[in-house]
Copies of this chain bind each other. A is one copy, B any other.
Amino acid sequence: MSADPHPWAADLAELHAQVWTRFTRGVRDRRAAARHPTLATVTPEGLPQARTVVLRAAERGAGSLKFHTDIHSAKVTELRATPFAALHVWDSAAHLQIRMEGEVTILTGEDVAAIWARVPASARLAYGSTPAPGQPIADGLSYTKTPDPTAFCVLRLRIVAMDIVHLGTDHRRARFTRTDNWAGQWLAP
């Protein structure tokens, strides 16, 4: 009988710590699963939307995550109407489904000038598009990208709850909430 590869999954505190280990790795490692979560939002019409985002910061102490985006993208419009998001990661190496729920703050201008200053020139091309992202164009390449600091914004997700599923030999599921100081509660999977 081989040793359990994920002993942390059987303990609430260790499971919670493992989630932050994965997110911290996602900030630094392009190949980590948590590098590219799926961010779900609600449109002004009340319908769901989901898209890939790139994880830029993970702060366990504050319980928050950060993402960069173009202020003219649809997700910013959606988050202005409903400033809540769900975030999803399936980490196949850890057999872990990570689901986050939280409040989103949209940071712009002076509040993000220091972050913009550290964005590499090549990456700045992702912020500033003519026409704006999502606008119809005649041909697939009928657009230009020009770095525009006024198009750059940071989404800060303040996590209020996490729903974690570990699909090991046994399946375990737990919910961690900010109001419970992340102590955690086992749930039926």
Task: List chain A positions with a Cβ less than 8 A from chain B.
Answer: 9-10, 36, 38, 40-42, 46-52, 82, 84-88, 90, 97, 99, 101, 129-143, 170, 172-174, 185-189
Contacts and interface: CB of A to CB of B under 8 A. Distances in A.
A90 to B, nearest CB: 5
- The A interface, classified by DSSP as helix, strand, loop or mixed, is strand
* Copies of this chain present: 2
A26 to B, nearest CB: 14
B186 A139 contact: yes
A44 to B, nearest CB: 11
A142 B47 CA distance: 35
A186 B46 contact: no
Contacts of A49: 40, 86, 99, 101
Contact of A137 (B42, B134, B136, B186): B186
Nearest to A130: B188
Contact of A187 (B40, B87, B135): B135
A86 B187 contact: no
A143 B172 CA distance: 10
A97 B50 CA distance: 11
A188 B134 contact: yes
Contacts of A84: 47-48
Contact of A48 (B86, B132, B138): B86
B189 A143 contact: yes
